[in-house]
Structure 1
Amino acid sequence: MNRRRFSVIALIALFISFLGAPLITRADEKTPEGELRVGMEAGYAPFNWTQKDDRNGAVRIQGDKAYAGGYDVQMAKKIADKMNRKLVVVKTEWDGLLPALQSGKIDAIIAGMSPTAERRKEVDFSDPYYESQLVIVTRKDTKYAKATSIKDFAGAKITAQLSTFHYDVIPQIPDVNKQEAMDNFPAMRVALESGTIDGYVSERPEGVTAESVNSDLKMVEFDKANGFQTNPEDVQVSVGMRKGDSDMAQVNQTLAGISQDERVKIMDKAIKDQPATDETQSASGKKENVFVRILKQNGSMFLRGTGVTLLLAIVGTTVGTLIGLLVGVFRTLPESDNSAKRGLQKVFGWLLNIYIEVFRGTPMIVQSAVIYYGIAMAFGIDLNRTAAALFIVSINTGAYMSEIVRGGIFAVDQGQFEAAHAIGMTHGQTMRKVVLPQVLRNILPATGNELVINIKDTSVLSIISVSELFFQGKSAAGTNYMFFQTYFIICVIYFVLTFTATRILRVVEKKMDGPSAYVRLDDVEVAVGEDK
């Protein structure tokens, strides 16, 4: 293997190292002294929600210009004050709360989480800071709205949130048509309004909220004899912390100082203060287009989410294309005559094949969870959330682009390689001056397709709570309860982004192709349609 071949290998290794370097902070990084990092969805009103300002005691969300409000936030403030720490709200998807806690990205979960026996195996829970009862939220225009017992829901299509005990109690309903669990409450409310399900299991505060802001929904309550049979800890809500955390005693001491009456007042105020209630009241006072109202309320969130989506898609596609080109060039290197160098070349080729097969053969949402949470849990390496997202999109795109580049290289006639070598050009010169210019044009449509795919697929990064467009839209829908309208706006924004990207790439393709035909006029070659 000559010096040029080693240069290509070194360049690939250096590029990957450079890409990964900014992601790693310190393996033993702890919470900054004086801070209490609390994880919550910020989309489960009235326990927690997202709003655009600090009204009613809301707290700024880490890495975002939005604020978190609700019952959980007020309880978290009391705990942080007692501990003489600054409260930092880390907006995290429900499925990501436990991994975030275990990996050290947050110090506590205060998100309406019940201390079930299964969860106690993984984390420690405080004394309960709220106790509720289970209800079923259904539509007001169905027969189930008049139910007085869970038996009245026999045959109904019922679901609940994924990874909650709410889903586990559904079989207590006789002959129930148990549906697949859903990721979050906004998704369940959309399914309920569309008729996909007949109801979902929830807790009373959420049911009160749903009923108060949407006149089409009905919260069905049950007495003890006719309702769900639960353990006390199932209907309690507690603070989750890492196993053996020494701060747990202080948290319990703080909670013990909050009377039951005060807790009820805080919850009642949270129900009254949530943004959905404000929008309902404003809508009843004056006529205003609902889409205009949503944009006024959440336009800045959508704009920031759009910016993050474009950043991830453009940078990820660009870096991924560079990775694909480097891998593609390496794969065209002829075997060295030296056995040791040839062996090294094969080993590196096998590693590249593993990389390509793994990242092409697994979903990006799984890759995101493994890289962001798995590395932190396994090796204690803390990754910056946005940088990790850029890394994930880039290496995922790189795996696909490497195969696209390989196809582009094969599309170049073999005779051009032979002709270049016949006139004395080296392999590197052949690739740079003859092959790659044609490859770039050949792969341009596929590269554009990858950009469009990345614009849409960045939505899966909500699993690691990256504030891209879909994540912001879901937060808004969970707050304003106008699901169809909010998701329709998000759909339009995605379409505008992909349509614009497609049109721009078409223009670039035409520019690279040049004129379609040439004519010879007065012994001067002139492009058709161009000035002489």
Structure 2
Amino acid sequence: MIKGLKNIVVVALILALITITFTGCGKDSGNGKAGKTGTSLDKIKASGKIVLGTSPDYPPYEFHKEVNGKDTIVGFDIAIAEEIAKDLGVELEIKSMEFGGLLADLKTDKVDFVMAGMTPDAERVKEVDFSTIYYNAEHGLVVNKKDIDKYKEISDLKGKIIGVQKGAIQEDIAKEQIESPQIKALGKVSNLMLELKTGKVDAVVVEQPVASAYVKGNDELYMTDIVFKDEEGGSAVAVKKGNKELLESINKTIERLMKENKIEEFVINANEIMDNE
């Protein structure tokens, strides 16, 4: 009788262990498959919003503008981001930060995607995934207007103090295409332009649409005819590594906007907004 009771207890324990094992296997493994915690895209749709990380000191891509008495981040990157959110059926939330911190916040899930005139260069591709290129621009040079005659060719920049945005593609361009440059990298383009006006840098390398925007708003600055080569150029949307479904959705939106010629329209509108400031 006691032997039989012992056998019953052993069988019960085995059944309990089997139940626990299979229950554990049914929990989320973190791969985002249906029926579990869901993918990043599922979470975005469930929350009703998608969070954009950007550095709004880069007109006409993204910049501050007073709209109906309220400081608002606008620009053609923002217009594209709004279309991405619309196609997903969610609201767009914008988080402003310095350019150099954007990918760190993306990798730690503080933002869902990044748009900041960002080029998918070899180093960034190791860290995050990128959409198809949605806009191409050449890189130009801004100098103080009093120095117009000093800088006619790239060779004139030898050994000069060159301002670039920290972590941006222009930092590599300046190092590779200017002989012995003294690089001064700052987080914000607006601060670089201030450094240029006060003589703390000799020139600033920046994308031409951005250069044009700053020169329009400041009589002390001048955009030269110097153009820098950028074989890997172009702006793309960044998402966290492996976020395949969100990336596919973003690419569909970009493809639609390009077919409808909307991106060029957004660029024109952003420039008009700046002209009306």
CA offset at residue 262 of structure 1? Answer: 3.0
Which range is displaced more, 172-181 or 121-130?
172-181
Q: Describe the shift of the 1:97–1:172 C-alpha distance in structure 2 as closer, same or farther (beyond 3 A).
A: closer
Match in the other structure for 1:259: 258
Quick check: 1:153 aligned with 2:161? Answer: no
The answer to whether the 8 Å contact 1:114/1:236 transfers is yes
Question: Where does 1:108-187 land on structure 2 (aligned, <5 Å)?
Answer: 108-143=113-148, 147=152, 149-187=153-191
Regions of 4+ moved over 6 Å: none
What secondary structure does 1:137 align onto? strand
Match in the other structure for 2:234: 236
What secondary structure does 1:170 align onto? helix
Count of residues in Structure 1 that have an aligned counterpart in Structure 2: 234
Amino acid at match of 1:238: A
Task: State TM-score, norm by structure 1.
Answer: 0.41
CA offset at residue 177 of structure 1? Answer: 3.4
What secondary structure does 1:39 align onto? strand
Quick check: 1:44 aligned with 2:44? Answer: no
Q: Identity, % of aligned pairs?
A: 26
- Corresponding residue to 1:216 among 217, 220, 225: 220
What secondary structure does 2:219 align onto? coil
Task: State TM-score, norm by structure 2.
Answer: 0.77
The answer to whether the 8 Å contact 2:54/2:114 transfers is yes
The gaps in structure 2 that reach 5 residues or longer are 1-39
Question: Where does 1:453-532 land on structure 2 (aligned, <5 Å)?
Answer: none
Q: Describe the shift of the 1:113–1:175 C-alpha distance in structure 2 as closer, same or farther (beyond 3 A).
A: closer
Match in the other structure for 2:30: none
CA offset at residue 42 of structure 1? Answer: 2.1
Structure that is richer in helix per residue: 1
Q: Which has the larger radius of gyration?
A: 1
1:109-136 C-alpha deviation (Å, 9 max, x unpaired):
0111111110111110000111100111
Q: Which protein has greater RCO, CA pairs closer than 8 Å, 6+ apart?
A: 2
* In 2: Cα distance, 1:252 partner to 1:238 partner: 10
CA RMSD of aligned residues (A): 2.3
Amino acid at match of 1:52: E
CA offset at residue 54 of structure 1? Answer: 5.5
* In 2: Cα distance, 1:146 partner to 1:265 partner: 33
- Corresponding residue to 2:83 among 78, 97, 101: 78
Match in the other structure for 1:103: 108
What secondary structure does 2:124 align onto? helix
The answer to whether the 8 Å contact 1:138/1:145 transfers is no
Question: Where does 1:117-516 land on structure 2 (aligned, <5 Å)?
Answer: 117-143=122-148, 147=152, 149-222=153-226, 227-232=227-232, 235-245=233-243, 246-259=245-258, 261-274=261-274, 277-279=275-277
* In 2: Cα distance, 1:129 partner to 1:144 partner: 35
* In 2: Cα distance, 1:145 partner to 1:272 partner: 31
The answer to whether the 8 Å contact 2:120/2:236 transfers is yes
Structure that is richer in strand per residue: 2
The answer to whether the 8 Å contact 1:35/1:87 transfers is yes
The answer to whether the 8 Å contact 1:145/1:220 transfers is no
